[in-house]
């Protein structure tokens, strides 16, 4: 199963590190038992951030981090599918249990006709009496509730009987089967009521967007079987880096008014609070997944420029200092300085098309960069499935991504330091 595959890789990384569960828990600020549940596969975390921190602490390579993220996405999606199946099977199991109880009662019931009982025993009587008492008590409670509601419902007295009948019908214990719309608590299935700040929508919609640092749903509803739905979801992380030195931000504040650099999983909140802009380059992570069993073909990825101006004269702050050289990540590269920028595969990344489904997602890294402009931009993902096709717009919380060039001097926060320091030798 996908959850076992995810836990298996996590277990390999833990065993290779030689660190105990207690040591890992202390460094990750969580209990050793929680770490053990992750590694053993008893629990699939609802957020990828603690998984990534655990893997990095175990010195996972870049390729291992990519594979771990891919397996986590699949395990998280299949967990929702299992929850849906369990919810659908629960009423059937309850009905089977009820039938079994009735059969046992019939077998234990006294034999006879009329008022003459044969084969009656005290144990059977003691066993049936609580069940009978509960049934009578429950019926009395329902009747009392009906009378109370009927007297409280405004209107003429001749309408109270009908109101009471409606209440009785509404409280009927007959189980009803419900169909879950989502694959997990993270909205893997599209919903018409999804928040614009958490959704990737077809470009035909004027407010279409894909955003958020976790997972996002495609608006329009459907699970791949609905002819009118968008059959893919796109999870977007607007700021991703292999090491802290790979990312800088422009902030319109003095160094004394800028808090220390955040961990990667907190970058969205940090940048939003400061009104920060990605400096020089920005790597966006896209997790694309189908919403049903039907395969969806991803035909192409395009960049759209909304605005291109001169870079703002703001201070530049690096998220790390002295990290060494970066890693050549498999990614798609976008040069925002070009008049008509295109999406090019780099680092061994193959070009489109790709195929995805609910159980087989794809993770893409898009590296956009500029040295001379302040650029607002978004992405469009073309898809086709079962004779239908469309385009999903991908942006940052309902607004375009923004990446700006910067000057050479910058500020860094040294390891173990207490304040930003200006770095002139760039």
pLDDT at 376 over 60: yes
205 or 53, higher pLDDT:
53
In the prediction, which pLDDT does 327 show?
A: 54
| pLDDT bracket for residue 42 (50, 70, 90) | confident
In-domain check, residue 24: yes
CA distance 302 to 53: 32
Q: With respect to residue 108, please indicate whether it lies within any of the assigned structural domains.
A: no
| 3-state SS, one letter per residue, for 115-173 | CCCECCCHHHHHHHHHHHHHHHHHHHHHHHHHHHHHHHCCCCHHHHHHHHHHHHHHCCC
Between residues 227 and 276, the one the model is more confident about: 276
Cβ-count burial 405-415 (b if 16+ within 10 Å, e if not): bbeeebbbbee
- Name which residue leads in pLDDT, 391 or 158: 391
CA separation for the pair 314, 309 (Å, rounded): 14
Is the residue at 225 inside a domain?
yes
Residues 201 and 68 in one domain: no
Rounded to whole angstroms, the Cα distance separating 358 from 237 reads: 20
Domains identified in the chain, total number: 2
Taking residues 43-69, report their average pLDDT. 86
Are 265 and 408 part of one and the same domain? yes
- Distances 215 to 51, 83, 347 between C-alpha atoms, Å: 15, 18, 26
Position 156 scores a pLDDT of 43
Phi, psi of 42 (to 5 degrees): -65, -30
Residue where one domain finishes, among candidates 46, 81, 116: 81
Averaged confidence pLDDT in the chain: 73
Residue 191 lies in a domain: no
pLDDT level of residue 215 (50, 70, 90 thresholds): very low
How confident is residue 315, by pLDDT bands cut at 50, 70 and 90?
A: very high
Tokens of 51: 């998984």
Give the end of a domain, one of 81, 116, 138: 81
Q: Which residue has the higher pLDDT, 225 or 320?
A: 320
In terms of domains, do 205 and 59 share one?
A: no
Residue 342 lies in a domain: yes
> Could you say which DSSP state residue 258 is in?
S
pLDDT of 367 > 90? The answer is yes
More confident residue, 353 or 89: 353
Structural domain harbouring 20: 2-81
Q: At residue 223, does pLDDT exceed 70?
A: no
Question: Does residue 317 carry a pLDDT above 70?
Answer: yes
Does 216 have pLDDT greater than 90?
A: no
Asked which of 53, 81, 109 is the last residue of a domain, the reply is: 81
Residue 186 lies in a domain: no
Which pTM value belongs to this model?
Answer: 0.52
pLDDT of residue 293: 84
Q: Output the domain CATH number for residue 18.
A: 1.10.260.40
Structural domain includes residue 318: yes
**How many Å apart are CA 274 and CA 385, to the nearest integer?**
41
Q: Is residue 183 included in any domain, yes or no?
A: no
Is the confidence at residue 390, as pLDDT, over 90?
yes
Better-scored residue on pLDDT, 144 or 345: 345
* Residues 212 and 77 both lie in one domain: no
């Amino acid at each position: 199963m996908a959850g076992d595959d995810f836990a298996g890789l996590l277990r390999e990384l833990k065993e290779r590190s030689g660190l105990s569960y207690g040591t890992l828990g202390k460094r990750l600020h969580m209990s050793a038992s929680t770490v053990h549940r992750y590694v053993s596969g008893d629990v699939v975390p609802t957020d990828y951030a603690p998984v990534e921190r655990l893997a990095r602490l175990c010195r996972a390579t870049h390729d291992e981090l990519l594979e771990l993220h891919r397996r986590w996405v699949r395990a998280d999606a299949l967990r929702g599918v299992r929850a849906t199946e369990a919810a659908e099977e629960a009423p059937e199991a309850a009905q089977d249990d009820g039938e079994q109880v009735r059969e046992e009662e019939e077998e234990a019931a006294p034999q006879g006709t009329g008022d003459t009982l044969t084969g009656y025993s005290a144990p059977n009587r003691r066993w049936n009496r609580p069940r009978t008492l509960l049934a009578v008590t429950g019926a009395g409670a329902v009747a009392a509730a009906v009378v109370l509601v009927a007297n409280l419902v405004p209107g003429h007295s001749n309408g109270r009987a009908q109101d009471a009948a409606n209440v009785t019908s509404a409280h009927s214990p007959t189980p009803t089967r419900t169909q879950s719309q989502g694959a997990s608590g993270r909205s893997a299935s599209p919903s018409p009521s999804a928040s614009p700040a958490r959704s990737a929508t077809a470009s035909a919609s004027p407010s279409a967007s894909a955003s958020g640092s976790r997972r996002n749903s495609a608006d329009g509803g459907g699970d791949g079987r609905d002819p009118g739905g968008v059959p893919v979801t796109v999870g977007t992380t607007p700021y991703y880096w292999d090491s802290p030195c790979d990312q800088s931000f422009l902030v319109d504040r003095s160094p004394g008014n800028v808090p220390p650099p955040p961990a990667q999983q907190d970058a969205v909140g940090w940048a939003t609070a400061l009104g920060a802009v990605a400096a020089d380059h920005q790597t966006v992570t896209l997790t694309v997944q189908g919403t049903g069993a039907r395969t969806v073909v991803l035909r192409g990825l395009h960049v759209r420029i909304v605005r291109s101006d001169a870079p703002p004269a703001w201070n530049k702050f690096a998220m790390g200092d002295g990290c060494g050289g970066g890693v050549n990540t498999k990614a798609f590269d976008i040069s925002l300085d070009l008049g008509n920028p295109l999406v090019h595969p780099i680092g061994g990344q193959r070009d489109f098309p790709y195929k995805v489904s609910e159980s087989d997602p794809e993770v893409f890294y898009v590296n956009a960069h500029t040295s001379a402009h302040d650029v607002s931009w978004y992405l469009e993902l073309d898809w086709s499935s079962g004779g239908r096709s469309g385009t999903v717009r991908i942006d940052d919380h309902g607004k375009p991504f923004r990446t700006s060039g910067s000057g050479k001097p910058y500020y860094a926060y040294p390891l173990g330091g207490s304040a930003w320091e200006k770095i002139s030798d760039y």
